[in-house]
A = this chain, B = another copy of it.
Amino acid sequence: MRSITNLQQGISEGQSLSLAKGITLVENNLEGYTDLLQSLKRNTNTQLIGITGPPGAGKSTLVNALLHEWTAANKKVAVLSVDPSSPFNYGALLGDRIRMSDFYLNDHVFIRSLASRGSLGGLNAKIIEISDVVLASHFDYVLIETVGVGQSEVEIAGIAETTIVVVVPEAGDEVQTMKAGVMEIADIFVVNKSDRPNASDFIKNLKILAHSKATNWETPVVKCIATQQEGISELNEMIKKHHLAIAQNADKKISLLTEKAYQLIQEKRMTDIDKQQLHKELSTLVLENDFNFYAWLAAY
Protein backbone atom coordinates (compact mmCIF):
# COMPACT_ATOMS: atom_id res chain seq x y z
CA MET A 1 0.00 0.00 0.00
CA ARG A 2 2.89 2.33 0.73
CA SER A 3 4.03 2.32 -2.89
CA ILE A 4 0.45 2.95 -4.01
CA THR A 5 0.29 6.00 -1.75
CA ASN A 6 3.53 7.25 -3.28
CA LEU A 7 2.20 6.61 -6.74
CA GLN A 8 -1.04 8.44 -5.99
CA GLN A 9 0.93 11.39 -4.66
CA GLY A 10 3.20 11.47 -7.70
CA ILE A 11 0.18 11.42 -9.98
CA SER A 12 -1.52 14.25 -8.11
CA GLU A 13 1.68 16.31 -8.42
CA GLY A 14 1.80 15.68 -12.14
CA GLN A 15 4.99 13.65 -12.21
CA SER A 16 5.15 12.05 -15.64
CA LEU A 17 6.83 8.93 -14.37
CA SER A 18 4.14 8.31 -11.73
CA LEU A 19 1.48 8.98 -14.30
CA ALA A 20 2.97 6.50 -16.76
CA LYS A 21 3.39 3.91 -14.00
CA GLY A 22 -0.16 4.43 -12.77
CA ILE A 23 -1.57 3.99 -16.25
CA THR A 24 0.44 0.84 -16.82
CA LEU A 25 -0.76 -0.53 -13.50
CA VAL A 26 -4.39 0.08 -14.40
CA GLU A 27 -4.06 -0.93 -18.03
CA ASN A 28 -2.68 -4.33 -17.13
CA ASN A 29 -4.66 -5.04 -13.97
CA LEU A 30 -1.41 -5.26 -12.01
CA GLU A 31 -1.44 -5.79 -8.26
CA GLY A 32 -2.61 -2.73 -6.43
CA TYR A 33 -4.51 -1.24 -9.33
CA THR A 34 -7.87 -1.19 -7.55
CA ASP A 35 -6.17 0.35 -4.52
CA LEU A 36 -4.76 3.03 -6.77
CA LEU A 37 -8.16 3.78 -8.35
CA GLN A 38 -9.74 4.05 -4.92
CA SER A 39 -6.98 6.33 -3.67
CA LEU A 40 -7.23 8.85 -6.51
CA LYS A 41 -8.76 12.27 -6.01
CA ARG A 42 -10.27 13.96 -9.02
CA ASN A 43 -8.68 17.28 -9.84
CA THR A 44 -11.77 19.46 -9.92
CA ASN A 45 -10.04 22.06 -12.09
CA THR A 46 -9.63 19.65 -14.96
CA GLN A 47 -12.06 19.75 -17.84
CA LEU A 48 -12.67 16.36 -19.45
CA ILE A 49 -13.31 16.75 -23.16
CA GLY A 50 -14.24 14.12 -25.71
CA ILE A 51 -13.54 14.62 -29.41
CA THR A 52 -15.19 12.36 -31.92
CA GLY A 53 -16.25 12.38 -35.55
CA PRO A 54 -16.00 10.27 -38.68
CA PRO A 55 -12.60 9.21 -40.06
CA GLY A 56 -11.15 12.00 -42.18
CA ALA A 57 -12.94 14.81 -40.38
CA GLY A 58 -9.64 16.06 -39.06
CA LYS A 59 -9.97 15.19 -35.39
CA SER A 60 -6.23 14.84 -34.87
CA THR A 61 -5.46 18.09 -36.65
CA LEU A 62 -8.01 19.76 -34.44
CA VAL A 63 -6.45 18.24 -31.31
CA ASN A 64 -3.11 19.47 -32.60
CA ALA A 65 -4.52 22.98 -33.06
CA LEU A 66 -6.02 22.95 -29.58
CA LEU A 67 -2.66 21.88 -28.15
CA HIS A 68 -1.07 24.92 -29.82
CA GLU A 69 -3.75 27.18 -28.40
CA TRP A 70 -3.52 25.79 -24.89
CA THR A 71 0.25 25.43 -24.58
CA ALA A 72 0.59 29.03 -25.78
CA ALA A 73 -1.60 29.95 -22.80
CA ASN A 74 0.62 27.84 -20.53
CA LYS A 75 -2.08 25.21 -19.96
CA LYS A 76 -1.35 21.60 -19.11
CA VAL A 77 -3.01 19.04 -21.34
CA ALA A 78 -3.34 15.26 -21.51
CA VAL A 79 -4.46 13.54 -24.70
CA LEU A 80 -5.78 9.99 -24.63
CA SER A 81 -6.20 8.73 -28.14
CA VAL A 82 -8.39 5.74 -28.86
CA ASP A 83 -8.49 6.32 -32.60
CA PRO A 84 -6.26 3.77 -34.32
CA SER A 85 -5.86 6.02 -37.36
CA SER A 86 -4.78 9.01 -35.32
CA PRO A 87 -1.22 10.33 -35.65
CA PHE A 88 -1.22 10.27 -31.87
CA ASN A 89 -1.42 6.56 -32.41
CA TYR A 90 1.47 6.62 -34.86
CA GLY A 91 -0.93 5.49 -37.54
CA ALA A 92 -0.82 8.36 -39.99
CA LEU A 93 1.44 10.03 -42.49
CA LEU A 94 4.95 10.94 -41.56
CA GLY A 95 4.14 14.62 -41.93
CA ASP A 96 1.60 14.42 -39.16
CA ARG A 97 3.98 12.61 -36.91
CA ILE A 98 6.69 15.17 -37.38
CA ARG A 99 4.21 17.93 -36.68
CA MET A 100 3.22 16.16 -33.47
CA SER A 101 6.73 15.59 -32.23
CA ASP A 102 6.90 19.09 -30.67
CA PHE A 103 4.32 18.08 -28.18
CA TYR A 104 5.91 14.77 -27.32
CA LEU A 105 8.78 16.77 -25.88
CA ASN A 106 6.61 19.38 -24.23
CA ASP A 107 6.47 19.08 -20.45
CA HIS A 108 2.97 20.44 -20.32
CA VAL A 109 1.58 17.87 -22.72
CA PHE A 110 1.02 14.22 -21.91
CA ILE A 111 0.02 11.99 -24.83
CA ARG A 112 -1.00 8.40 -24.56
CA SER A 113 -2.39 6.08 -27.17
CA LEU A 114 -4.80 3.49 -25.93
CA ALA A 115 -5.63 0.32 -27.73
CA SER A 116 -9.31 -0.10 -28.25
CA ARG A 117 -9.60 -3.74 -27.35
CA GLY A 118 -12.45 -4.15 -29.73
CA SER A 119 -14.24 -5.18 -26.60
CA LEU A 120 -17.94 -5.68 -26.63
CA GLY A 121 -18.21 -2.66 -24.42
CA GLY A 122 -16.85 -0.46 -27.21
CA LEU A 123 -15.08 2.25 -25.31
CA ASN A 124 -13.74 -0.14 -22.80
CA ALA A 125 -13.50 -0.07 -19.06
CA LYS A 126 -9.75 0.41 -19.17
CA ILE A 127 -10.12 3.71 -21.00
CA ILE A 128 -12.50 4.96 -18.34
CA GLU A 129 -10.17 3.87 -15.57
CA ILE A 130 -7.11 5.35 -17.28
CA SER A 131 -8.89 8.65 -17.78
CA ASP A 132 -9.61 8.63 -14.04
CA VAL A 133 -5.88 8.24 -13.37
CA VAL A 134 -5.16 11.23 -15.61
CA LEU A 135 -8.00 13.24 -14.06
CA ALA A 136 -6.32 12.89 -10.67
CA SER A 137 -3.25 14.68 -11.99
CA HIS A 138 -2.41 18.33 -12.64
CA PHE A 139 -3.97 18.95 -16.05
CA ASP A 140 -6.19 21.80 -17.14
CA TYR A 141 -7.60 19.73 -19.97
CA VAL A 142 -7.92 16.02 -20.58
CA LEU A 143 -8.88 15.19 -24.15
CA ILE A 144 -10.14 11.78 -25.18
CA GLU A 145 -10.05 11.32 -28.94
CA THR A 146 -12.15 8.50 -30.42
CA VAL A 147 -13.05 7.67 -33.97
CA GLY A 148 -16.74 8.13 -34.53
CA VAL A 149 -17.69 4.72 -35.76
CA GLY A 150 -20.42 2.60 -34.33
CA GLN A 151 -21.14 2.96 -30.67
CA SER A 152 -17.90 4.53 -29.49
CA GLU A 153 -19.00 8.08 -30.19
CA VAL A 154 -22.07 7.64 -28.05
CA GLU A 155 -20.02 6.09 -25.28
CA ILE A 156 -17.46 8.88 -25.22
CA ALA A 157 -20.32 11.28 -24.63
CA GLY A 158 -21.35 9.20 -21.67
CA ILE A 159 -17.95 9.83 -20.10
CA ALA A 160 -16.77 13.22 -21.32
CA GLU A 161 -18.08 16.37 -19.68
CA THR A 162 -17.84 18.26 -22.94
CA THR A 163 -18.27 16.37 -26.19
CA ILE A 164 -17.01 17.91 -29.42
CA VAL A 165 -18.24 16.35 -32.64
CA VAL A 166 -16.08 17.19 -35.66
CA VAL A 167 -17.65 17.07 -39.11
CA VAL A 168 -16.65 18.29 -42.58
CA PRO A 169 -18.85 20.04 -45.15
CA GLU A 170 -18.38 17.11 -47.53
CA ALA A 171 -21.14 15.39 -45.68
CA GLY A 172 -23.34 17.87 -47.59
CA ASP A 173 -26.85 16.61 -47.91
CA GLU A 174 -26.25 14.19 -45.11
CA VAL A 175 -26.86 16.81 -42.45
CA GLN A 176 -30.49 15.91 -42.69
CA THR A 177 -29.84 12.27 -42.12
CA MET A 178 -27.09 12.64 -39.58
CA LYS A 179 -27.41 9.90 -37.06
CA ALA A 180 -29.73 10.88 -34.27
CA GLY A 181 -27.15 9.68 -31.78
CA VAL A 182 -24.53 12.11 -33.06
CA MET A 183 -26.89 15.07 -32.87
CA GLU A 184 -27.70 14.24 -29.31
CA ILE A 185 -24.21 13.75 -27.96
CA ALA A 186 -22.66 16.95 -29.33
CA ASP A 187 -22.11 19.76 -26.84
CA ILE A 188 -20.16 21.59 -29.52
CA PHE A 189 -20.12 20.99 -33.27
CA VAL A 190 -16.94 21.78 -35.14
CA VAL A 191 -17.23 22.15 -38.89
CA ASN A 192 -13.63 21.59 -39.90
CA LYS A 193 -12.27 22.49 -43.34
CA SER A 194 -14.97 25.14 -43.39
CA ASP A 195 -13.42 26.81 -46.44
CA ARG A 196 -14.72 24.02 -48.64
CA PRO A 197 -17.40 24.70 -51.23
CA ASN A 198 -20.96 24.23 -49.94
CA ALA A 199 -19.73 24.79 -46.40
CA SER A 200 -22.15 27.64 -45.77
CA ASP A 201 -25.22 25.59 -46.68
CA PHE A 202 -23.97 22.75 -44.57
CA ILE A 203 -23.35 25.04 -41.60
CA LYS A 204 -26.74 26.68 -41.97
CA ASN A 205 -28.51 23.32 -41.93
CA LEU A 206 -26.45 22.07 -39.03
CA LYS A 207 -27.33 25.17 -37.02
CA ILE A 208 -31.03 24.62 -37.66
CA LEU A 209 -30.74 21.03 -36.46
CA ALA A 210 -28.62 22.02 -33.47
CA HIS A 211 -31.15 24.65 -32.52
CA SER A 212 -34.04 22.20 -32.77
CA LYS A 213 -32.53 20.04 -30.05
CA ALA A 214 -31.58 22.90 -27.74
CA THR A 215 -32.63 22.56 -24.13
CA ASN A 216 -30.52 24.23 -21.42
CA TRP A 217 -27.55 24.45 -23.70
CA GLU A 218 -27.74 25.48 -27.33
CA THR A 219 -25.10 23.44 -29.15
CA PRO A 220 -22.90 25.95 -30.99
CA VAL A 221 -21.56 25.27 -34.47
CA VAL A 222 -17.95 26.45 -34.70
CA LYS A 223 -16.26 26.91 -38.06
CA CYS A 224 -12.61 25.85 -38.17
CA ILE A 225 -9.74 25.32 -40.52
CA ALA A 226 -7.65 23.36 -38.07
CA THR A 227 -4.58 23.14 -40.32
CA GLN A 228 -4.41 26.94 -40.29
CA GLN A 229 -5.32 27.38 -36.65
CA GLU A 230 -8.45 29.23 -37.78
CA GLY A 231 -11.46 29.22 -35.48
CA ILE A 232 -9.53 27.58 -32.66
CA SER A 233 -9.78 30.54 -30.28
CA GLU A 234 -13.55 30.59 -30.85
CA LEU A 235 -13.68 26.87 -30.15
CA ASN A 236 -11.65 27.37 -26.99
CA GLU A 237 -14.13 30.02 -25.84
CA MET A 238 -17.02 27.64 -26.41
CA ILE A 239 -15.24 24.91 -24.48
CA LYS A 240 -14.81 27.26 -21.52
CA LYS A 241 -18.41 28.41 -21.82
CA HIS A 242 -19.70 24.85 -21.76
CA HIS A 243 -17.56 24.06 -18.74
CA LEU A 244 -19.16 26.93 -16.84
CA ALA A 245 -22.62 25.97 -18.03
CA ILE A 246 -22.39 22.47 -16.60
CA ALA A 247 -20.29 23.26 -13.52
CA GLN A 248 -23.28 23.63 -11.26
CA ASN A 249 -25.40 21.04 -12.99
CA ALA A 250 -25.87 18.15 -10.54
CA ASP A 251 -28.06 16.20 -12.97
CA LYS A 252 -25.27 16.16 -15.53
CA LYS A 253 -22.81 14.98 -12.90
CA ILE A 254 -25.08 12.15 -11.80
CA SER A 255 -25.76 11.13 -15.40
CA LEU A 256 -22.06 10.97 -16.17
CA LEU A 257 -21.39 8.94 -13.07
CA THR A 258 -24.26 6.58 -13.87
CA GLU A 259 -22.98 5.99 -17.39
CA LYS A 260 -19.50 5.36 -16.06
CA ALA A 261 -20.78 2.89 -13.49
CA TYR A 262 -22.95 1.18 -16.09
CA GLN A 263 -20.08 0.67 -18.50
CA LEU A 264 -17.69 -0.55 -15.83
CA ILE A 265 -20.22 -2.99 -14.40
CA GLN A 266 -21.01 -4.28 -17.89
CA GLU A 267 -17.40 -4.99 -18.66
CA LYS A 268 -16.86 -6.61 -15.29
CA ARG A 269 -19.81 -8.93 -15.70
CA MET A 270 -18.73 -9.93 -19.16
CA THR A 271 -15.23 -10.65 -17.96
CA ASP A 272 -16.73 -12.75 -15.19
CA ILE A 273 -18.15 -15.27 -17.63
CA ASP A 274 -15.75 -18.19 -17.69
CA LYS A 275 -15.82 -19.52 -21.23
CA GLN A 276 -13.60 -22.48 -20.43
CA GLN A 277 -15.92 -23.51 -17.64
CA LEU A 278 -18.89 -23.26 -20.01
CA HIS A 279 -17.02 -25.38 -22.53
CA LYS A 280 -16.28 -28.02 -19.93
CA GLU A 281 -19.85 -28.10 -18.71
CA LEU A 282 -21.27 -28.33 -22.22
CA SER A 283 -18.82 -31.06 -23.22
CA THR A 284 -20.54 -33.38 -20.78
CA LEU A 285 -24.05 -32.12 -21.36
CA VAL A 286 -24.12 -32.55 -25.14
CA LEU A 287 -23.66 -36.27 -24.61
CA GLU A 288 -27.03 -36.43 -22.91
CA ASN A 289 -29.75 -37.21 -25.40
CA ASP A 290 -32.37 -35.06 -23.74
CA PHE A 291 -30.08 -32.06 -23.16
CA ASN A 292 -32.19 -28.93 -23.47
CA PHE A 293 -29.91 -25.97 -24.16
CA TYR A 294 -32.43 -23.23 -23.36
CA ALA A 295 -33.63 -24.95 -20.19
CA TRP A 296 -30.02 -25.20 -19.05
CA LEU A 297 -29.33 -21.58 -20.00
CA ALA A 298 -32.27 -20.32 -17.98
CA ALA A 299 -30.31 -21.11 -14.83
CA TYR A 300 -27.61 -18.57 -15.75
- State whether A151 and B118 are in contact (beta carbons under 8 Å apart), knowing that A254-B283, A258-B275, A258-B278 are contacts in the complex: yes
A250 at the interface (CB under 8 A from B): yes
CB distance from A280 to the nearest CB of B (A): 9
A247 at the interface (CB under 8 A from B): no
A2 at the interface (CB under 8 A from B): no
Query: Which chain B positions have C-beta within 8 A of A261?
Result: 278, 282, 293, 297, 300
CB distance from A187 to the nearest CB of B (A): 20
> Is the CB–CB distance between B293 and A257 below 8 Å?
yes
Query: Which chain B positions have C-beta within 8 A of A258?
Result: 275, 278-279, 282
CB distance from A44 to the nearest CB of B (A): 13
The digit string for A134-169, where 1 denotes a CB below 8 A from any CB of B, is 000000000000000111000000000000000000
A92 at the interface (CB under 8 A from B): no
> Is the CB–CB distance between B264 and A297 below 8 Å?
yes
A262 at the interface (CB under 8 A from B): yes
A292 at the interface (CB under 8 A from B): yes
Query: Which chain B positions have C-beta within 8 A of A244?
Result: none
A105 at the interface (CB under 8 A from B): no
> Is the CB–CB distance between B38 and A292 below 8 Å?
yes
A245 at the interface (CB under 8 A from B): no
Closest residue of B by beta carbon distance from A296: B261
What separation, in Å, do the CA atoms of A102 and B250 have in the docked complex?
58
- State whether A254 and B282 are in contact (beta carbons under 8 Å apart), knowing that A34-B294, A297-B261 are contacts in the complex: yes
- State whether A270 and B269 are in contact (beta carbons under 8 Å apart), knowing that A120-B120, A279-B255, A297-B261 are contacts in the complex: yes
> Is the CB–CB distance between A286 and B257 below 8 Å?
yes
Closest residue of B by beta carbon distance from A276: B258
- State whether A265 and B120 are in contact (beta carbons under 8 Å apart), knowing that A279-B254, A286-B257 are contacts in the complex: no
Closest residue of B by beta carbon distance from A277: B258
What separation, in Å, do the CA atoms of A267 and B264 have in the docked complex?
15
A208 at the interface (CB under 8 A from B): no
A268 at the interface (CB under 8 A from B): yes
CB distance from A104 to the nearest CB of B (A): 27
Closest residue of B by beta carbon distance from A287: B250
Given contacts A250-B286, A268-B300, 15 further A-B contacts (CB under 8 A): A38-B292, A38-B298, A120-B266, A132-B294, A149-B150, A150-B150, A254-B279, A254-B283, A257-B286, A258-B279, A261-B300, A264-B297, A266-B273, A269-B272, A269-B273
Q: Identify 19 residue pairs between A and B in the complex whose beta-carbon atoms are under 8 Å apart, listed by A's number.
A: A34-B294, A34-B298, A37-B294, A118-B151, A120-B266, A254-B279, A254-B282, A255-B279, A257-B286, A257-B293, A258-B282, A261-B293, A262-B278, A264-B297, A265-B273, A266-B273, A269-B269, A269-B273, A270-B270
